[in-house]
Amino acid sequence: MEHRTAPERAALLGEQVTDLAADIDSGRTDSAAAYKLVREADLLRLLVPRGAGGEGLSFLEYTLILELIGAADTPTALGLNMHYVAIGSLCESGDRPLTGAAREFRSWVFDQVVHHGRMFASATSEAGSGAKLQRLSTTYRRCDGGYVLSGRKSFVSLAGVADYFIVAARNADDDAEREISHFVVAGDDPGVRIEGVWPGNAMAGTSTASMVLDDVRVQRARLMMNVEGMSLFKLVQEPHWMTSGYTGAYLGLAAAVHGLIIESVARDPRRSTDPVVRHELGRLNAEVRAVRALVHAAAGAVGEQRGTVETAEAVHAAKYKVGELLADLVSAAVRICGTAALSRGRPLERRLREAAYCRVMPAKPDECLEYLGKAAIGLDMHDVRNFDW
């Protein structure tokens, strides 16, 4: 693997997980098998700066890799993205000089990923509030040498797979709901329990479950960047880590669904010669191309103008349009393809079930439109009071 480029390794991984996808979807194979392949493909250090032993890819290059893997197996792409949701902002700080405990924290994370092959994941979402940081019920309180975390997280991807989880919590002794902190919790720390595997009708490959934090003690050194209360403010400045990775993975899914629709029509002489069907395929082709251009432009903006409202607008617009494209493709597949293509267990049928979840991943359609609407009328989107997260 070491002599292959990241896209080449991702392409090979795509071939491997394609063979596993149906068995993982049906429960015949555990999703951990896919992430064993992810580790073997050496895809956990893509965004870690070169100076720290990583590959230092740009956000656009990363998005293209998610798109490639997402076309092969979307749950695996989403799981890989959760690793970077957890460490991505840290990777982006790689060219910024830090001092003291913050520098030590960053060095420790990079060392765990690069030299020990550790996988990180995010534990943010909670029942009833989703991933909105301002509505968290999970709390932390200070203790000698560190903190004690208590609460319950729902919809934790890579549960039972990741080595570490970045847990979002609010200060139990402070009423300021906007002062949220993140902590690194190991999957085998005392008081951490994984339970209640999510019984979805798709996306089994994300290895999603609930996480219980029962008075989990963490050292001061495991506070993200050694700074309390800054998580929401960081998200307001740079929301792409809670949104854009999903966009790349789901763009890959859209491309896969589009390709399977075309294959189904091409095999049917009656449909392939129907001018109405041909026009519909042409329209879908134009839509896929337009959304891909928007997604790539937004990803490029993250690398060139990270932190600007204009980039955040592009990120939200891209996520919204990918969701709309998938809904359009699902509707078209039902209209155009024969019942055989939609039979349970067929690749197209599984992809259509997976497509529905784009709308529940951050940011949801209404959240994207609200952000774009507020920005359009000139509200300060760097002010947390205008950012409903």
CB 166 within 8 A of CB 180: no
Mean pLDDT confidence for 28-41: 96
Within 10 angstroms of residue 96's Cβ, the number of other Cβ atoms is 9
Asked if the model's pLDDT at residue 2 lies above 70, the reply is no
Do 308 and 242 reside in the same domain of the chain?
A: yes
Residue type, 77: A
In our burial notation (b when 16+ CB lie closer than 10 A, e otherwise), range 51-68 reads: ebebbbbebbbbbbbbbb
Of 204, 120, 112, 111, nearest to 161 by C-alpha is 120
Final residue before a domain boundary, out of 201, 227, 253:
227
Query: Any idea what DSSP says for residue 364?
Result: P
- Which SS3 state, helix, strand or coil, does residue 238 take? coil
Main-chain phi, psi angles of 267, to 5 degrees: -80, -10
Query: pTM for this one?
Result: 0.95
CB 239 within 8 A of CB 370: no
Do 212 and 291 reside in the same domain of the chain?
A: no
- Peptide bond before residue 221 is cis, with ω within 30 degrees of 0: no
Do 180 and 210 reside in the same domain of the chain?
A: yes
Tell me the pLDDT band of 45, cut-offs 50, 70 and 90. Answer: very high
Do 173 and 76 reside in the same domain of the chain?
A: no
Q: What is the predicted pLDDT for the residue at 229? A: 76
Choose the most confident range, by mean pLDDT, from 69-73, 130-134, 174-178: 69-73
Q: Are strands 139-143 and 146-156 parallel, antiparallel or unpaired?
A: antiparallel
Quick check: is 351 in a domain?
A: yes
CA distance 337 to 52: 49
Do 243 and 319 reside in the same domain of the chain?
A: yes
Do 255 and 349 reside in the same domain of the chain?
A: yes
Do 33 and 110 reside in the same domain of the chain?
A: yes
Quick check: is 233 in a domain?
A: no
Quick check: is 389 in a domain?
A: no
Q: What is the predicted pLDDT for the residue at 386? A: 76
Token look-up 């494209």 returns 325
Do 245 and 355 reside in the same domain of the chain?
A: yes
DSSP per residue, 210-226:
EEEEEEEEEEGGGBGGG
Quick check: is 232 in a domain?
A: no
CB 220 within 8 A of CB 145: yes
CA distance 180 to 215: 18
- Which SS3 state, helix, strand or coil, does residue 147 take? strand
Final residue before a domain boundary, out of 227, 258, 289:
227
Main-chain phi, psi angles of 198, to 5 degrees: -65, 120
Quick check: is 199 in a domain?
A: yes
Quick check: is 254 in a domain?
A: yes
Write out the H or E segment, with its range, that includes residue 153: strand 146-156
Q: What is the predicted pLDDT for the residue at 243? A: 83
Q: Inter-axis angle of helices 59-72 and 275-304, to 10 degrees?
A: 150
Main-chain phi, psi angles of 325, to 5 degrees: -60, -45
Percent of the chain having pLDDT more than 90?
Answer: 78
What digits encode the pLDDT tens for the residues 72-107?
999 999 999 999 999 998 999 887 888 899 899 999
Main-chain phi, psi angles of 191, to 5 degrees: 95, -10
CA distance 319 to 327: 13
Q: What is the predicted pLDDT for the residue at 389? A: 66
CA distance 57 to 51: 12
Mean pLDDT confidence for 260-288: 96
User: Could you tell me the CA-to-CA distances from 225 to 76, 137, 204 in Å, in that order?
Assistant: 28, 22, 32
Do 250 and 355 reside in the same domain of the chain?
A: yes
* Beta bridge pairs of residue 126: 130
Q: What is the predicted pLDDT for the residue at 130? A: 66
Mean pLDDT confidence for 106-110: 95
How many Å is the Cα radius of gyration of the chain? 21
Least confident of 83-97, 156-170, 189-203, 291-305: 83-97
- Could you list the residue range(s) of the whole structural domain that residue 27 is in? 4-118
Assign residue 211 the CATH number of its domain.
2.40.110.10
Mean pLDDT confidence for 58-71: 97
Q: What is the predicted pLDDT for the residue at 341? A: 80
Assign residue 352 the CATH number of its domain.
1.20.140.10
Do 170 and 269 reside in the same domain of the chain?
A: no
Q: How many domains does the chain have?
A: 3
CB 187 within 8 A of CB 163: yes
Q: What is the predicted pLDDT for the residue at 178? A: 65
Q: What is the predicted pLDDT for the residue at 1? A: 54
Do 262 and 375 reside in the same domain of the chain?
A: yes
Q: How would you class 175 by CB atoms within 10 Å of its CB: exposed for 0-12, middle for 13-18, buried for 19 or more? A: exposed
Within 10 angstroms of residue 174's Cβ, the number of other Cβ atoms is 12
The mean predicted confidence, pLDDT, of the chain is 92
Quick check: is 102 in a domain?
A: yes
Main-chain phi, psi angles of 181, to 5 degrees: -125, 160
Do 271 and 286 reside in the same domain of the chain?
A: yes
Q: What is the predicted pLDDT for the residue at 339? A: 84
Contacts (Cβ under 8 Å, ≥6 apart) of 337: 261, 264, 265, 348
Q: Inter-axis angle of helices 74-92 and 347-355, to 10 degrees?
A: 40
Choose the most confident range, by mean pLDDT, from 85-89, 244-248, 260-264: 260-264
What digits encode the pLDDT tens for the residues 193-238?
999 889 999 999 999 999 999 999 999 999 998 888 777 667 767 7
Mean pLDDT confidence for 311-324: 97
Greater confidence (235 vs 41) lies with 41
Final residue before a domain boundary, out of 191, 208, 227:
227
Quick check: is 379 in a domain?
A: yes
